[in-house]
Amino acid sequence: MKTVNIAMLGSGFVAEFYLQGLANVNGHAVVANYSRDLAKAEAFAARWGIPEATDSLTHLIARDDIDLFIIALPNEAHLPVSLALSAARRHQVCTKPLGRTAAEALEMWQAAEASGMMHGYAETEVFAPCVVKAREMIESGGLGRVLWVRSRESHSGPHSPHFWDVEKTGGGAMNDLGCHCISGARYFFGKDDPIVRVMAWGQRLVHHDKTAGEDNAMVLLQFASGGLGHCELSWTTKGGLDLRNEIHGTEGSIFTDVTRGTPISAFSTRGAGYIIEKADSDTGWTRPLPEEAFSYGYQAEMRHFVECVRDGVTPRETYEDGYLVNRILDAGYASIRTGAWVDLPQE
């Protein structure tokens, strides 16, 4: 079996999760780490036993022994890095959101498609084991026709300073968290049932000194079938990451809860250490989540992309999917400005 050599582009929060996911994936080797800050690249490479650390993207792209580049960089770097990879005809995967806007995402998708190489959109939600199982139940007919999907993604705020800068990221809580809920709704309804209208609300309720963007948002998605997607997003929720889905159909309902229904309950007066992503406290009653990278879908998506490169297969999430999510987010921001539904013409 061919070993897929990977260059991890980025050394921050999501890159850490990608390495945790890759730790349980056979047939790959992470051979290099790139960061715009060499010291961070060196520290990351040392922590994960990666042979090379560099701040030269040009150098990495010129190497002929790298099979897959994973973009785990801040949002403002996605477009230029992806275009450079496409120009060099390299396989690539990019974290969410694909672009800061639909225009950026479209440029990335078109360039990657023109390169003839693989492009994968790293949206963890649709690779999470509980979400995949829910989709399997839908496909088996267990829910009948899907009517309504409600998704919630919330925590107390971003982990890195750059997330608060809407010029660098493209938006606030809706842009940051809405990708997951939108992708989940598309997955549950099925990609052959497109989203045709979007309405959104978003406001900054708490973090007035940190961001010009919204720290709370709600998005409604109307599907061509008449079904409704309902997305709740917040940067002001205490108690750690809250990640839930409800799928309601004509014949039943499915509920997923990765972070609030964990298999461990603990009480500590001294502090229990790391509990869960975005946990605000490690004392008192806590609900630690074992194997976070597996539960969130990082392991499954990394395995999928490695196998797609090895086998020459198109991923089930591509830059086209990332572009469609960005279109929906753009429509959501337009709806916030106008207070009205925004139609999404089908392309």
pLDDT tens digits for range 227-274: 999 999 999 999 889 999 999 999 999 999 998 888 888 888 888 788
Q: Is the pLDDT of residue 1 over 80?
A: no
Number of domains in the chain: 2
What is the C-alpha separation between 95 and 119, in angstroms, rounded?
Answer: 11
High-pLDDT (> 70) share of the chain, %:
100
Domain match, 112 and 145 both: no
On whether residue 152 sits in a domain, the answer given is: yes
User: From the centroid of its chain, how far is CA 127?
Assistant: 10
Residues 278 and 217 in one domain: yes
- The helix/strand/coil state of 340 is coil
Say if pTM beats, i.e. exceeds, 0.85.
yes
- In a domain? residue 320: no
With contact defined as beta carbons under 8 Å apart, do 178 and 125 qualify? no
pLDDT at 177: 97
Least confident of 57-66, 127-136, 178-187, 272-281: 272-281
Band (pLDDT 50/70/90 cuts) for residue 292 is confident
Q: Which residue has the tokens 């963007």?
A: 213
**DSSP letters along 260-271, please?**
SS-S--EEESS-
Asked if 22 contacts 6 with a C-beta cutoff of 8 angstroms, the reply is yes
User: Mean pLDDT of all residues in the chain?
Assistant: 95
Are residue 58 and residue 144 in the same domain, yes or no?
no
- Range 201-209 average pLDDT: 97
Instruction: Identify whether residues 82 and 160 lie together within a single domain.
Output: no
What's the whole-number mean pLDDT along residues 145-173?
95
Q: Mark whether 156 and 25 lie in a shared domain.
A: no
Task: Collapse the DSSP code of 36 into the 3-class scheme (helix H, G, I; strand E, B; otherwise coil) and give the result.
Answer: coil
Comparing 156-165, 186-195, 207-216, 247-256, the range with the smallest average pLDDT is 156-165
CA–centroid distance for 339 within its chain: 27
CATH number of domain containing 252: 3.30.360.10
Q: What is the mean pLDDT of residues 167-185?
A: 97
Residue 319 domain flag: no
pLDDT at site 265? 85
Is residue 259 within 8 A of residue 289, CB to CB? The reply is yes
Domain assignment of residue 39, yes or no: yes
Q: What is the pLDDT of residues 76-117, one digit of tens each?
A: 999 999 999 999 999 999 999 999 999 999 999 999 999 999
pLDDT at 120: 98
For residue 51, give the CATH number of its domain. 3.40.50.720
User: Is residue 28 in some structural domain?
Assistant: yes
Q: Which amino acid is at 247?
A: I
State the pLDDT at residue 274: 81
Q: What is the pLDDT of residues 47-67, one digit of tens each?
A: 999 999 999 999 999 999 999
pLDDT band at 37 (very low <50, low <70, confident <90, very high): very high
pLDDT band at 285 (very low <50, low <70, confident <90, very high): confident
82, 57: one domain = yes
Whole-number pLDDT of residue 280: 82
**Cα–Cα distance list, 208 to 114, 213, 311, 333, 346 (Å):** 43, 9, 49, 19, 37
Average pLDDT, integer, range 2-12: 96
DSSP secondary structure string, 218-241? EEEEEETTS-EEEEEEES---SS-
Same domain, 111 and 149: no
Q: pLDDT category, 276, cuts 50, 70, 90?
A: confident
Give the domain range for residue 92: 4-124+308-313
Average pLDDT estimate for 203-219: 97
